[in-house]
């Protein structure tokens, strides 16, 4: 892996690295980093590297603050220039662009209505739901989409079910899994079958500038 650079441990013994975000849809990101760090550590030291999830339920903005303070060692999030300036970014797209392909989670009763819409109607007649702290929010807004926000990922499913907005754009790697996990709570939600959005969107890892446990550039 090109980004499996030597690890600076700063001390002998096991190395624990606190990471954020945490949850089922993020598991791949951390398995990939675990593999890369194990590869780096094996070259430089016999000390094991252990990834530890950050225990508290926090927002992305709070996660970035804790990364800057050193309370969190590494994040893996959708990126933009402002975020990259606040961390030591590893500028390789972990998900190879797949999260930029967005299917729409909707109320199943709206399948027919949305299927009849063209691109102009999708932009002008629908309201979309997004987390207020996600890096894709300004992308959607800059392209003329009307967006309703919440700082809670989970709340967005309830807001959609309650008709606070019409569609929740989710990555190809996210939608089915999220709906399956919430089938009992939101049986009225489904993936729209005929429409999708696409925009360039990178997801990268970034280490805290203050941590001793980061790959050399």
Model confidence pLDDT, tens digit, residues 94-131 = 999 899 999 999 999 999 999 999 999 999 999 999 99
pLDDT at 5: 40
Domain residue spans of the chain: 15-96+203-207, 98-198
Residue-wise pLDDT for 19-61, tens only, equals 999 988 899 999 998 888 777 755 555 667 789 999 999 999 9
pLDDT at 16: 86
Mean pLDDT over 164-171 rounds to 97
DSSP code of 54? -
Q: What is the CATH number of domain 98-198?
A: 3.40.190.10
Rounded Cα–Cα distance for residues 106 and 129 (Å): 10
CA dihedral 147→149→152→156, nearest 10 degrees, is: -50
Neighbouring-strand partners of residue 122: none
Which of the four pLDDT bands, split at 50, 70 and 90, describes residue 15? confident
Which of the four pLDDT bands, split at 50, 70 and 90, describes residue 217? very low
Mean pLDDT over 186-208 rounds to 94
Please name which of 110, 108, 132 lies closest in space to residue 121, comparing C-alpha atoms: 110
pLDDT at 184: 97
Tokens of 68: 């800057």
Question: 188 vs 213, which has greater pLDDT?
Answer: 188
Work out the mean pLDDT of the chain and round it to a whole number: 88
Rounded Cα–Cα distance for residues 144 and 128 (Å): 11
State yes or no: pLDDT of 2 exceeds 50: no
C-alpha distance from residue 125 to each of 51, 111, 117, 163 (Å) = 44, 14, 9, 14
């Amino acid at each position: 892996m090109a980004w499996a650079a030597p690890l600076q441990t700063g001390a002998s013994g096991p190395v624990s690295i606190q990471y954020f975000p945490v949850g089922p849809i993020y598991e791949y990101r951390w398995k990939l980093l675990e593999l890369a760090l194990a590869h780096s550590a094996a070259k430089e030291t016999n000390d094991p590297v252990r990834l530890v999830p950050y225990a508290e339920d926090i927002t992305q903005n709070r996660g970035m603050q804790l990364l800057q303070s050193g309370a969190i060692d590494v994040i893996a999030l959708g990126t933009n220039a402002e975020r990259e300036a606040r961390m030591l970014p590893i500028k390789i797209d972990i998900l190879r662009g797949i999260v930029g392909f967005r299917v729409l989670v909707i109320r199943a009763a709206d399948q027919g209505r949305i299927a009849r819409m063209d691109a102009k109607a999708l932009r002008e007649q629908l309201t979309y739901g997004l987390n207020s702290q996600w890096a894709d929010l300004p992308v959607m807004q800059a392209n003329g989409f009307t967006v309703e926000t919440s700082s809670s990922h989970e709340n967005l499913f309830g807001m959609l079910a309650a008709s606070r907005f019409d569609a929740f754009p989710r990555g190809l790697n996210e939608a089915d899994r999220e709906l399956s996990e919430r089938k009992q709570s939101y049986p009225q939600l489904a993936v729209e079958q005929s429409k999708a959005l696409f925009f360039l969107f990178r997801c990268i890892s970034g280490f805290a500038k203050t941590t001793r446990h980061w790959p050399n550039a």
